Amino acid sequence: MTLNITLQALSDPTRRKILELLKNKDLAAGEIARNFNITLPSLSHHLNVLKQADLASCRRQGQEIIYSLNLSVFEEVAEKLIKFFSNK
C-alpha cells in the first residue's frame, strides 16, 4: 500500500460514501448500488479503485460478490499521517 494510491482513492466522494456504507457492515455489490444514482460500470470502477488501494476487499458468496472494509489500511494511513504531522 502506498500513501499516494490510498489518498487518491479517498479523494472521490463516491468512494468515500462506499466506505461509509461498508463501515457499518459487509455489503453485496447490488446493495451498494442501491445507494447511488450511477451506472453499474461506474460503480464497478469505484469498487476496483478501492480494492486496488486495499481499502476494500471482496469475496464471492454464491451468486453475489460481498465487499468488506479493510480497517488495517486505515490504521496504516493514520499512523503515517500522524508521523508526518508530528513535531519530530
Q: Is the pLDDT of residue 44 over 60?
A: yes
Q: Where are the domains of the chain?
A: 3-77
Q: Is the pLDDT of residue 85 over 60?
A: yes
Q: Is 62 left (phi over 0), alpha (psi -120 to 50) or beta?
A: left
Q: Is the pLDDT of residue 10 over 90?
A: yes
Tell me what the pLDDT averaged over the chain comes to.
92
List of residues 6+ apart from 28 with CB closer than 8 A: 61, 64, 65, 66, 67
CATH T-level fold of 3-77: Arc Repressor Mutant, subunit A (1.10.10)
- Which phi and psi angles does 78 have, rounded to 5°? -60, -45
Q: Is the pLDDT of residue 1 over 60?
A: no
Q: What pLDDT score does 84 carry? A: 84
Q: Is the pLDDT of residue 8 over 90?
A: yes
